[in-house]
Structure 1
């Protein structure tokens, strides 16, 4: 059975992007010069994912005016905003979610539409600007064709439907299936942004869930070394392709103060602590570890109601190739293609033009050129 995945992003009017439609495959890399909008596209994806997880609009968009297109003019009431959306494929077929967000004078969701096979399953609209709610209507197909109720204007209505819809009619079950697929597809996202400066120091050993900035790299290596020996061995093999000199393995040393320190084995030479590695090597190791570990290792909200076998995790990485040389990029792209081949993981990232040229020669990798 198909796992829910975000198969398309739509930036109808979002920051510098207008009427932009971007299909997403197993590996999708956005390329283009600085200022072309690569980070904007990735931010839109992450914003939708956070809304799908139930985060309030103000936390997702703390500076909403930054996402209003420069050409947008306020209406008679001084209102301006932005719009974005996505399509989530899965067992229910393609489901579209489209949002209209008012950024000024007050931040709120003023319009939301969830559709499947051309049928509108949920629609919301702002009826009374003086209230902090929108009027929602969702498909019922029973004795009452449509159910109407107010919903908060700062939360994604689609994420609230599983709490509001009973599933007593065929129409309600269709709404639930579409909403749940959309939420699972959006929530199955892990943004990864390794910061080498935070990865060098020993860290306390804990549950070993990888942070977004990979600051606890040594802690996670300690976990994989003890609990996932096969993945750990594969990481050591991958490290050889991205680190200078011969690498015979990756080890972890427990220090007297209770912290753990990661080490690279070097043949007969003393092991090299990771704090001596260059930024590129550290970023390479962190990205490779992110690809090789399972969903339970990431510091993200688990979707407990859906078995992991029915989920497909998407890694979101801006500046994927920052600090990496061509050899490291090639090894990382090869690993990405291999890991994503079984359908359990996808990758969406932003890269420079040199990496884009490498990636275009690889089967299964889609490169989206955002050059103006």
Structure 2
């Protein structure tokens, strides 16, 4: 994900940064209470795979629970899709198998068209801003409708007027000599992400549109999909830039970096590992092998150590999630908005099967850590868990459990 996909150099996030620094948008009695860091407060799956009219409220730490087939993983995929579109990814890359996201019983219209709908609401300095998408999956994948609105009015709409052309007609609020501006947008890109390139920002109306669009883009694109794969985490790895991948297969390389550069956080990681791993953990270090690669080693006390590859699957997943929570975006393969200071962004970690392979003690320790980290507003977590874990944390302060019905 790269910023230049949707934002012109030196031009991006001007209205949003003005809103953040001033603490206000257009006059509003509630502006002072608005959060400084944009975040997704609600995910909507109007017609998306197994979901129909599903609305999911998102807190700092949100856990999706429900039986098999309830759509927990699908909900995470919906959030991830919005994040990738906000980062400028083309529609075909985000949905390589678009028919898979069309509700099974959804029939085609007279032209043979079927599709799906999803959206979200982003809270932030510009107030609540909603984004809703209608995507045609068959016969041709394209965005056929998009709506961006704040708490007062619609700011952007797009509509497919000519199915023979790869464009939609976009109309956005101007509030100048011309109240609405119209222009064609490509039908394979998120129009909201294109607005910073198209809107001059010379009227109050244009500034409102830009601030709303930029708030949505900043919140959505700052997401990290974390899916630790224990079988890939056990091998020695080359030393690179030290940024953790989604599968956490370069865990040893990242521990090499945190051990040398982030002493305080690394010490907390060791303490967290000691709480969740079998046997004592007194250190997390790496050793360089003859071929130049490094492998991670857990200290077990004076003169004792264990290669990390000997840890169980649950221990490795626990350690990987703890590392993500304790380090943040600078040690993850994620590309948040570089033009907006990190203190004004909230990273959202998407974790499918957060408690997979973890025992009850490990799950409890990990969720307690997540609640503590997410409480300060710099990080948020949306994960799926089993029913036992959900029952154990239901009602715990700082944790939102959302039950999805199959």
**TM-score range with shorter-chain normalisation?**
over 0.9
Q: 1:20 aligned to 2:54?
A: yes
Equivalent residue in structure 1 for 2:264, among 212, 230, 238: 230
CA distance in 2, matches of 1:348, 1:120: 28
Equivalent residue in structure 2 for 1:36, among 62, 70, 74: 70
- Residues 58-73 of structure 1 correspond to what in structure 2 (within 5 A)? 58-73=92-107
Equivalent residue in structure 1 for 2:346, among 304, 312, 324: 312
The structure with the largest strand share of the pair is 1
Equivalent residue in structure 1 for 2:189, among 150, 155, 165: 155
Q: 1:219 aligned to 2:221?
A: no
- Per the TM alignment, residue 361 of structure 1 is displaced from its structure 2 partner at its CA by 4.1
- Per the TM alignment, residue 260 of structure 1 is displaced from its structure 2 partner at its CA by 1.1
Which residue does 2:18 correspond to in 1?
none
**Alpha-carbon RMSD:** 0.8
Gaps of 5+ in 2: 1-34
- Residues 300-339 of structure 1 correspond to what in structure 2 (within 5 A)? 300-339=334-373
| Partner-residue secondary structure (3-state), 1:36 | coil
Aligned residues: 372
Cα shift readout 1:225-261 (whole Å, capped 9, x = no counterpart): 0000000000000001111111111111122221111
Q: 1:192 aligned to 2:226?
A: yes
CA distance in 2, matches of 1:211, 1:317: 13
Q: 1:88 aligned to 2:125?
A: no
Which residue does 1:272 correspond to in 2?
306
| Partner-residue secondary structure (3-state), 2:40 | strand
Q: 1:75 aligned to 2:109?
A: yes
> What TM-score results when the alignment is normalised by the length of structure 1?
0.99
Q: 1:123 aligned to 2:157?
A: yes
Tell me if the contact between 2:328 and 2:347 (Cα under 8 Å) persists in the aligned partners: no
Which residue does 2:241 correspond to in 1?
207
CA distance in 2, matches of 1:355, 1:275: 26
| Partner-residue secondary structure (3-state), 1:74 | coil
Cα shift readout 1:292-319 (whole Å, capped 9, x = no counterpart): 0021111112311100010000100000
| Partner-residue secondary structure (3-state), 2:177 | coil
Judge which range, 294-303 or 171-180, deviates more.
294-303
Which residue does 1:146 correspond to in 2?
180
Cα shift readout 1:334-365 (whole Å, capped 9, x = no counterpart): 10011111100000000000110112142110
CA distance in 1, matches of 2:378, 2:197: 28
CA distance in 2, matches of 1:242, 1:254: 26
Judge which range, 170-179 or 361-370, deviates more.
361-370
> What TM-score results when the alignment is normalised by the length of structure 2?
0.91
Task: Indicate how the Cα distance of structure 1 residues 243 and 269 shifts in structure 2: closer, same or farther if over 3 A, else same.
Answer: farther
| Partner-residue secondary structure (3-state), 1:204 | coil
CA distance in 2, matches of 1:23, 1:305: 28
Q: 1:56 aligned to 2:93?
A: no
Which residue does 1:182 correspond to in 2?
216
Tell me if the contact between 1:296 and 1:302 (Cα under 8 Å) persists in the aligned partners: no
- Per the TM alignment, residue 270 of structure 1 is displaced from its structure 2 partner at its CA by 2.1
